[in-house]
Amino acid sequence: MQQREAGMEACNIEVLEERLEHRFARRELLLSSLTHKSVSQHSGHHNDEAIADNERLEFLGDAVLGLVVGEALYEAHPDWQEGELTRVRALLVSRKHMGDVAKKIELGDFLLLHKSEEKAGLRQKSKVLSNCMEAVIAALYLDGGLDAVRKFARKRILAETEKHLAEELSSGEALGNYKSALQELLQGEHLGAPEYVLKAESGPDHRKQFEIEVRLQTSDGKPSRMLARGLGSTKKIAEQEAARLALQRVKSRMENVSESDADEGSATR
């Protein structure tokens, strides 16, 4: 217990609680979320609860983070389809964004590291900060429930970043230009060119839904083949979603062909 109290004193736990806007009833959860695995690895007491590292909490925090961010996007954007929700959520829970969130609250200052890792500069590594941020989210959840995580997420994870990403998404181009990627892949493999066809349009003017089909135009004059369909609140968004799905399917087919060729080659040797 003395070791745990010393750790709390060293990282000035109350300052971090203010930044998280949550007073912990079980401060040992927060301390564990801040404890890098190097501490237990160099301590020689791997089973000592007082020095539990944050890897298990990181696992839980990742799941809680995905739920809370997904829930917020689902409620805030009733006009978005699954593809749109997935793309924005992926960016909001990404290692880069979570690392940025950690840096804004100066989480690295509270991270408990072994002195050898301290010298290696791990305190400011984006991956380490991102993992620690997920562990802290798990600690918030275990101590204060989903409401504590929602409060932090609204202010620090979503906030202006979510608004900015929503604006980019409405342009149909910014969040991953799948149309360009699909065209480059098809042309690079000499498969043909993509063609986008509006298949359906529904809903009132303020909540339109468009269904776009992307087809493969071949150079030999054969009828175009449907690759995928995408839904979106604008034609551009629907086209990008169709391109994203088509890109996945074309890559999957190419991988399957490569594996089949490799198997045949092995069989003939």
For Cα atoms 260, 263, 267, give the angle at the middle one, nearest 5 degrees.
140
Q: How many CA atoms lie within 13 A of 251 on its CB side?
A: 12
Helix (H) or strand (E) holding 213: strand 209-217
Which tokens in the block code for residue 117? 């890792």
Q: How many CA atoms lie within 13 A of 261 on its CB side?
A: 6
Residue 17, number of CB atoms within 10 A of its CB: 14
Over the range 155-171, which residues count as b (16 or more CB within 10 Å of their CB) and which as e?
ebbbeebbeebbebbbe
What residues are labeled active site? 62, 134
Distance CA 245, CA 265 (A): 30
